[in-house]
Every structure is written in structure tokens, then in C-alpha cells.
Amino acid sequence: MPNASSALAEQFDDLPQQQESSVLGMWTFLATEILFFGGMFMSYIAYRSAYPQAFAEASRHTIVLYGTINTAILLTSSLTVALAVHAVQEGRSKACFWLLVLTVLFGCCFLVVKGLEYHDDLNEQLWPGPHFKSGLPPQSQIFWFLYWAMTGLHALHVTIGVGLLSVIAWMAQKGKFSAAYYNPVDVSALYWHFVDIVWIFLYPLLYLINRYS
């Protein structure tokens, strides 16, 4: 059992105040992340409204199966990390550890699937530039530029999340957290959920444009 007083940083009066401050800090950071991704979504909306046909044609070359599997993986990982926070709040640090390990594994699965998909995309010559796949309208390269930029940046966030949660899992295994002190688990979970939310929007916008036509 960790000593609660040793977990308290000196600038705080007590653990609840420390917990509130770290949660506020994480939400503020996530607000900046929303605006950071917001710029990319903005470019997407602007160019999609300018070239709807080219975007629809370009999007048909994305692989829906990979995108759907990854959506299911990320949603499940959000559940496991939420349950990990709940477990540590209840003082069940062993359960918290295993749920964090499961979340890290889901994160790795996401990256593996994404890697396979990138491999297939490259084989299909879907990297914008002089060797871009022939037969597609020239503006569809804008879609593919945004695809690589947005999913690449998202994958970077997943990688950071996997690293972060691995450290938190290791700390949980060492018995660093208890029902009284668990804010590192809580704020890391907030970050992971945010990464999930970004994917919730990327999935329909990149993979599912005009699939009916």
C-alpha cells in the first residue's frame, strides 16, 4: 500500500486538491489537442467541399475492413481503460494492472493493423506525389495527403498512449496506486479516450464517403 502523504506534491494542500488540479490540467491539454486536430479536420472539410467527387473516388480506395477492425479495437480499449480506472478507485490494483495491460495490447493491435493497412496502401501507390496511382482525379491526392497526415498523427498519439499506459501499468504493478491516490491512471485514461474520440471522427470521414455509389 503506498503512503498517501508521499504521493502528495508540496504545492497542494491535500490529495483531492491534487487530483482536481491534474484532471483540470489534462482537460486543458486535451482542449489544445482538439484545436490541433481541428486544423486538420478544417482542411479536410474545406477541400472535401471544394472537390466532393474526387474525395469520394479517392476514399473508395481505403480498406474499410482494416478501418472497421481498428474502430472495434479502439472502442474496446476505451472500455478496458475505463474499467482500469474504476478498479483502482475501488482499491483493486491487481485488476487495474491487468486491465491496463489489456489496453496496451489493444493499442499494439491497432498499430499492427494500421501498419498492414499502410503496407497495402503503399503497394496500391496511394502515396501522393509523382508516382501516385494513375486513373484517379488529380485532386484525390489532396484526400490521400490528408489521409496520411491525419492517420499518421493519430497513430503517433496511439504510440504515445501505449508508452504512457505501459509506464502506468508498470507503476500499478509496483503498487504505486491505491483508492486514495490514482490520478496518474485517471489522467492517462483521459488521454487514451481522447485518442479514441479522434478515431471515431476519422473513421467515417476517411473510409465511408459515398460508399453506396
Of the candidates 7, 15, 23, 149, which one interacts with other proteins according to CB under 8 A? 23
**Which one among 16, 75, 94, 122 touches other proteins, defined by CB under 8 A?**
75
Helix (H, G, I), strand (E, B) or coil at 12: coil
What are residue 143's phi and psi, to 5 degrees? Answer: -60, -45
Q: Are 44 and 146 in contact (CB under 8 A)?
A: yes
Alpha-carbon gap, residue 172 to 25, rounded angstroms? 22
Separation CA 197–CA 192 (nearest Å):
9
What mask, x for binding other proteins by CB under 8 A, covers residues 49 to 68? xx-x-----------x---x
**Closer of 46 and 122 to other proteins (Cβ):** 46
* Contact with other proteins (CB under 8 A) among 79, 95, 108, 149: 79
Residues ≥6 apart with Cβ < 8 Å to 168: 100, 184, 185, 188
Residues that bind other proteins (CB under 8 A): 20, 23-24, 27-28, 31, 34-35, 38-39, 42, 45-46, 49-50, 52, 64, 68, 71-72, 75-76, 78-79, 81-83, 86, 90, 138-139, 189-190, 193-194, 196-197, 200-201, 203-205, 208-213
